[in-house]
Structure 1
Amino acid sequence: MKFKGYTNEIIVENEIVIKKSLFFHNIYLDKQNEYNFLEQLIKLKQDCLLNPINFYWEKEELISQYKFLKNYHSLEKINLTEKIVDMVIENIIKMHNLNINSAKIKKFEYVNFLNKFHDNTINKLEIYDYYIDEIKNYESIFNKLDLVLSHNDLVPGNILIKKDKLIFIDYDYVMLNNKFFDLASFITETLNDDEKLINYFINKCIERKIISITELDTLNKIIKYQDLLWTFWAYFMFEKQNNEEFKIIYKNKLNRLKNRKHY
């Protein structure tokens, strides 16, 4: 059985999910960093992230294996509710508090990561020049924030749920980052335009003391950064693969970047 994946080839054999990295994505993904993280994750006793069964290098490609989670469904196939949002918040808290050796995990670099897509496209997006100075100013603010273990890619397909159990999967983008990035990722990648649930999510994060009202400006800055980043990612993917799906994603991301409200 084969699954769709943007950055990995994914198959299921004998109830084992086998992920094989695709060399093309090494332009912007650090697979050595993912390997370093998996070395720690496999030893951790925790229930917020799916632990690997095995992982290894094969011809410079990272192969990782995981137990196939029966009866779990990704949030792509489920109508989001306040209860699910509460479960995501709980999982984010657990993940951010995992005890890891941070010396072996890469730190997220805002401008450099954005430039990986900008520098590797032929037809440059004009919005780069419009936003880049603002993003550089943001980075100087973000770099002063405390670091946590951050998933950095809380798209619906990376969040699995079964009844009262929720777990995050896929660690292509895992790095050290500030606490706001995963919150913004869940908003921009999963909640999207559901303003009712976005406001519920933010208010619950304040209630749980993950963030404070005075930190909403920082959250808004990171939301804006992510709308810009994934606009560039989608445009990069469309240019390289000429897949209409990425063109649609690009247009949606660009629209959100231009019209996103502040919270």
Structure 2
Amino acid sequence: MLKIIVRGGGDLATGVIHRLWGAGFKVLVLECAKPAAIRRQVALCEAVYQGSAQVEGLTARLISSLAEADAVWEHDEVPVLVDEAADSVHAFAPDIVIDAIIAKRNLGTSSTMAPLVIALGPGFSVGADADVIVETKRGHNLGRIIRNASAAPNSGVPGNIAGYSKERVLHAPCAGVLYVVHDIGSIVEKGETIATITDGSNQVAVKATLSGLIRGMIRDGFAVTKGFKIADIDPRKEELANCFTISDKARCIAGSVLELVCRYAQEKQK
């Protein structure tokens, strides 16, 4: 059985992990100590805070060392290890490493980490950083496998949903500790306070930029910096179920990753 490491456990990474798990592959997830996913209901990185997390039938379980991974796999679950620097890669000796952090830049992944290194999105170069890149930008090329170039650069503009783009994503207006007023799944109106940010004696309200459904919200009590991505509003109020299921974008990317993994497995058997 192939040994696969996925760096990152956010919502797009979770789509990849779920697809690999569904295909019968064993996956080890490496995460940072304080994950900042806003689509928390579909992000396996929540296991870092809660000890475990469930997304569409898959359970991820936090472990404190590589030695605990086998017991988690025996229960058909996915182990999550806090290892932001990927120091455990050498000891684990994976066949495949997938960088699914979606940081828009390389946070230490190298093509020397495994026989096959796959990177998702911009910030990587084929050759030095990874063997292959998967496009993560919405549009015609979403999920395209790139072997001799780079992914599209980060535009900073969210995908368009029901005519809304930049308005959908909210960023912290200041630094401080965020406290949730309306969490994921709540329907809010434009101008309504959905969270507050407190820095000492100062409290700043974060207001909805449009009416809709809160699809993503960073964890209550999370310390944010100014400009930090903190929430996502979907203008389609009827799409409540989408808050709790893997997105079409994540599934598309995951399909491309599974294709690469299966091809590698076939070639290894020859």
TM-score, L = length of structure 1: 0.23
Point out the structure with max Rg over C-alpha. Answer: 2
Q: Which has the higher strand share?
A: 2
- Higher helix content, 1 or 2: 1
- Normalised to the residue count of structure 2, the TM-score between the two structures is 0.23
